């Protein structure tokens, strides 16, 4: 019986949005208004595909993109949290579920030396084509009306837990740590023994408060807010008895 830590990436592990941070690789660090205004609700992934095509059109090399992405700041205390997890892999599993992309997340975790803490990353597949342009694809297809068309985090988590159970791995407690609106859906599959940890002042916390007020859908998990990684680490240490 292990403990599972589920982490969002943008504004959770890192203290910014990796998809907007990449714009810093452009000479004037900005996008044309026509491109910025093309983003539609629930279609962020498709928008990022257009952004990366524009960056490729400006002859920005993959190496230049990577050097910029590796400068994104980590949220205060998050590196220490990931180091603790990496030192306790016999009792703690850790996965990332994010609407970013495989390349950005891999680069950033590798540069910080904390990739060993993460067992699996579930995000949008990305690759560089023969021109050096980065292409971003949908993570999966789903029928959830609450989530972006390319990713339902609840479906990802449910499939992961089912596959782990088939391997004989059960979790006595899960911690779900996030900040955004797309982090609400997976909280509904958490149990009473689990903990959902919304970042203080961000969208997920506000949605959970509204959920409590409306009492439309029942949330079983305990809610603990956080501002720094040290607060998550405190809860995790108490859970595993360290």
Residues designated as active site: 8, 10
CB count, 10 Å around CB of 47? Answer: 16
Q: Structure tokens of 101?
A: 């992309």
> Rounded to an integer, what distance in angstroms lies between the CA atom of residue 195 and that of residue 201?
18
Residue linked to tokens 């009306």: 145
> Rounded to an integer, what distance in angstroms lies between the CA atom of residue 110 and that of residue 120?
14
Which segments of 40-186 does DSSP mark as H helices, in order? 44-57, 62-69, 78-86, 102-112, 153-166
CB count, 10 Å around CB of 197? Answer: 27
Dihedrals phi, psi of 136, to nearest 5 degrees: -120, 130
In angstroms, the Cα distances linking 72 to 35, 50, 103, 125, 226 are 23, 21, 14, 20, 20
């Amino acid at each position: 019986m292990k403990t599972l830590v589920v982490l969002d990436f943008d504004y959770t592990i890192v203290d910014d949005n990796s998809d907007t941070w990449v714009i810093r690789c452009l000479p004037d660090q900005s996008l044309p208004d026509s491109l910025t205004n093309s983003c539609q609700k629930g279609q962020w992934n498709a928008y990022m595909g257009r952004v990366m095509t524009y960056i490729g059109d400006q002859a920005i090399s993959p190496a230049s993109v990577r050097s910029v992405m590796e400068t994104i700041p980590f949220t205060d205390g998050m590196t220490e949290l990931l180091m603790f997890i990496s030192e306790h892999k016999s009792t703690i599993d850790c996965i990332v579920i994010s609407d970013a992309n495989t390349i950005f997340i891999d680069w950033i975790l590798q540069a910080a030396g904390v990739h060993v803490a993460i067992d699996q990353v579930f995000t949008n597949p990305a690759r560089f084509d023969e021109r050096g342009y980065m292409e971003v694809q949908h993570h999966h297809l789903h029928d959830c009306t609450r989530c972006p068309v390319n990713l339902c985090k609840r479906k990802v988590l449910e499939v992961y837990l089912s596959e782990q159970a088939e391997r004989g791995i059960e979790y006595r407690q899960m911690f779900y740590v996030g900040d955004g609106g797309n982090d609400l859906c997976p909280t509904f599959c958490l149990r009473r023994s689990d903990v959902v940890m919304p970042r203080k002042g961000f969208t997920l916390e506000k949605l959970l408060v509204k959920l409590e007020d409306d009492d439309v859908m029942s949330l079983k998990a305990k809610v603990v807010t956080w501002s720094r990684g040290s607060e998550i680490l405190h809860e995790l240490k108490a859970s595993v008895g360290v």
